[in-house]
Structure 1
Amino acid sequence: MKWNSDSDWIIEKPSFKSRIIMNNAKYWKDMSRRQKDIADFCFHEHRPMNTSNVFKHDLHCWRFVVDFNGIRSLNEGVFIDTIVIDAWALILNKSVQYHNAQNSYLTRKFYFNTQHSSYLQGMLRATDPAVIDRMGYNARSCWHFSMKQMLQLNDLKNIQFFFIPICVNNHFIAVVVNFEHRKIQYLDNILGNCEEDSDVWKLLDIVKNQFSISLLDMEHPKALDMEYFPIEDVPFDWKSAKTNIDCGVFLMHHMEFFNGYPYISPNLLQGPQRRKLRAEYCSRIILSDLNQCRDEILSEIFKFAKRKK
């Protein structure tokens, strides 16, 4: 059976088992039954943990997978796994490519995964020049690999926004290299992280320098212009001085909707709305057209939903 639309998902007497759905039902009225069942399947507290894949995509020589334990990190009160952020970047890249093919006037974006994070942090902490050089080379290799897998050279030259998500000390941020407005933009849900001489400021300077070298290696015509790009800490209504376990939710939202300017989103201001976003991201990853095991996992979810009483 194919699960191409919500209309194919017909189950009588709906009931849910996971705490996140039962405790937040009034906020989720506009979610489809299929989306709720996907979240219920993934977040049900009494389901045994396992390593079966819920998302798989083969891209040239690279096999990308998200297992069940990874997708469960989208449950409430859990730090989102970097593999979920990486899947989100892949899905957004394919979405942007599709829509740009339909409309050449749309903003052109490219999203990196998080594999460079440890190397950038290593550069921040290291004092040995040889170690710093090696870490920089490794970070640039991650970027080169992603761009060569996803972009043609002519496409690379036309990208207006490069999104670089980074996991720093169990906190997600994003650096946006904005060629349209000629600046480096820092996206975070925490206030005060980006003061001059702070570790974050130093990290942004590292990204700025290393990414410029990376683009220069790939013969980007504007690579050297980055030297003159100012760093901007983008203000958002939802920024707070307190750390937040939902930093990955903020990151995923920023990646999808940021277009160079602060924007408004009531969905990020309240905890229940962010929990809803977690469930929506879970279902969107599993339902993605890129997911080569989608029918298999949806069949399992459908059986699970029919068994619930």
Structure 2
Amino acid sequence: MIKYVDLFKYVSAMQAPLSDYAFSEGPNDEVLYHDGENSVNREEMKTLGTDEEVDNAVIDALAHILNTKGKKHSIYFSTMTYLIVCTDMGKSVNTTKEVRHEKFAERLNYEMTNSGITNIKKYREFFFPVPAFKHFYLLCINIYNGTIDLIDNRKLPMNVKESTKYEDNPQKMLEALAYFMRTKDYTGSDIARVLSFKTNLIKMKWRSNLDHKNCGVYVMKHMETYTTEPLVEWNCDLKANNVDQIRKLRVQYCSEIILSRTKKEGYRVKMAARRRMEEN
């Protein structure tokens, strides 16, 4: 069992054995989730079974699952989109902005196709999980309010400005999305409005600078719950520095990813987890 087995009593009868199986000492390369594009093997899934930061692959899987749930006005993309636009990972340092935008648009089209999404114009909240250096936060380009919402579980350090921490990366993501919108026949006025958006740092009561290991879990919870849709309240029950609450979410997200209706390996893993439970 994982080291916080006592928390299993707060989750369902199926969540506990599934998570126990995923976090066990089986082959690290065993695929526990695959949706046609994203995959999560045991080594990656086990990052949910520790008090360490989660792997990008886990967050990307949840983004796809949220898309398949069909939220009316929200669309979710992978961590790869930020890496394409704002980093030099896997590319030449001299890659131009134009090339980044083209690759960004290709990536969005690919992820939308994998999620069965054809009409981009109906969406009002575009979510991009950001894998910053030793940290994750969530960026939401918010058509409702005309803002780039920065949803970060950490507060700004004392005497550090917002522009210093986040640099010009929110603006880069905005410009990349505007480029993508041009390829989808948005009007010039729509694109001009999007390009006028300014950053908006969301100040949640559970923000804390004491937690340096669970940023990815916070991002997953924020992705799942955040909304500014008119007449809809953002319902998020997180509390600052509540270790048990975050560990419970780790177990829940593990089982949810495995059991998601897009999960081709779900039945096999479910049966393997049942056999492990019976043997123990």
Superposition TM-score tier, normalisation by shorter sequence: 0.7 to 0.9
Helix, strand or coil at the partner of 2:52:
coil
CA distance in 1 between counterparts of 2:121 and 2:246 reads 35
Partners of 1:175 and 1:242 in 2: CA distance: 21
- Find out whether 1:306 has 2:267 as its counterpart: no
Paired AA for residue 107 in structure 2: C
Aligned to 2:128: 164
For these two proteins, the number of residue pairs brought into alignment is 271
Given the alignment of the two structures, is residue 236 of structure 1 paired with residue 197 of structure 2, yes or no? no
By how many angstroms is 1:243 displaced? 5.0
Q: Structure 1 pair 108/268, CA: closer, same or farther in 2 (3 Å)?
A: farther
Give 3-state SS (helix, strand or coil) of 1:198's partner: helix
Find the partner of 1:295 among 260, 263, 267.
Answer: 267
| TM-score between both structures, scaled by the size of structure 2 | 0.87
Question: Is 1:137 aligned with 2:95?
Answer: no
Tell me which residue corresponds to 1:19.
3
Q: 1:77 to 1:152 in 2, by over 3 A?
A: closer
How far apart are 1:141 and its partner, in Å?
2.6
CA drift at 1:199:
4.8
Gapped regions of structure 1 (runs ≥ 5): 1-16, 101-106
Q: Is the 8 A contact 1:267 1:274 kept in 2?
A: no
1:219 counterpart letter in structure 2: D
* Identity level (%): 20
Change (3 A) 1:224 1:123: farther
Note closer, same or farther for the CA distance 1:152–1:31 as it changes in structure 2 (3 Å cut).
closer
Output the CA distance in 2 between the equivalents of 1:152 and 1:292.
19
Q: In the alignment, is the contact (CA less than 8 A) between 1:120 and 1:135 conserved in 2?
A: yes
Task: Note the alpha carbon deviations across 1:132-153, whole angstroms, 9 max, x for none.
Answer: 4433432333223223444555
The reply to whether residue 51 of structure 1 matches residue 29 of structure 2 is yes
Give the Cα separation in 2 of the matches to 1:76 and 1:152: 34
| Corresponding residue number in structure 1 for 2:80 | 115
Kindly provide the CA deviation profile for residues 191-212 of structure 1, in whole angstroms up to 9, marking residues without a partner as x: 1178343151411111111111
Paired letter, 2:262: L
Aligned-partner Cα distance in 1 for 2:238–2:202: 17
Deviation per CA, 1:10-32: give whole Å up to 9, x if none.
xxxxxxx32121xxx2x543312
Report if aligned partners of 2:26, 2:42 keep a CA contact under 8 Å in 1.
Answer: no
Which letter maps to 1:217? Answer: T
Q: Which of 165, 176, 181 lines up with 1:215 in the alignment?
A: 181
Q: What is residue 70 of structure 1 aligned with on the other side?
A: 44
With structure 1 as the length reference, what TM-score do the two structures score? 0.79
Is residue 115 of structure 2 the alignment partner of residue 147 of structure 1?
no
> What's 1:14 paired with?
none
Q: Cα gap change, 1:130/1:285 in structure 2, threshold over 3 Å: closer, same or farther? A: closer
1:29 aligns with 2:9: yes
Distance 1:34 1:161 in 2: 32
In the alignment, structure 2 segments of 5+ residues that lack a partner are: none
| CA shift in 2, pair 1:302/1:129, >3 Å | closer
1:191/1:292 Cα in 2 relative to 1: closer, same or farther (>3 Å)?
Answer: same
| Alpha-carbon distance change, 232 to 239 in structure 1, aligned in 2, over 3 angstroms | same
Q: What whole-Å deviation, never above 9, does each CA across 1:126-183 have from its counterpart, x for those lacking one?
A: 9x77544433432333223223444555x31110111011101131111101112221
- Measure how far apart 1:240 and its partner are: 1.6
1:89 maps onto 2:89 in alignment: no
CA distance in 2, matches of 1:122, 1:88: 22
Contact 1:268 1:274 in 2 (8 A): no
Amino acid at match of 1:111: Y
Give the distance between the partners of 1:263 and 1:195, measured in 2 at CA. Answer: 28
Assess if the C-alpha contact under 8 Å between 1:123 and 1:135 holds in 2. no
Match of 1:224 in 2: 192
Secondary structure, aligned partner of 1:73: helix
Question: One-letter code of the match for 1:51?
Answer: D
Could you tell me which amino acid in structure 2 is paired with residue 290 of structure 1?
T
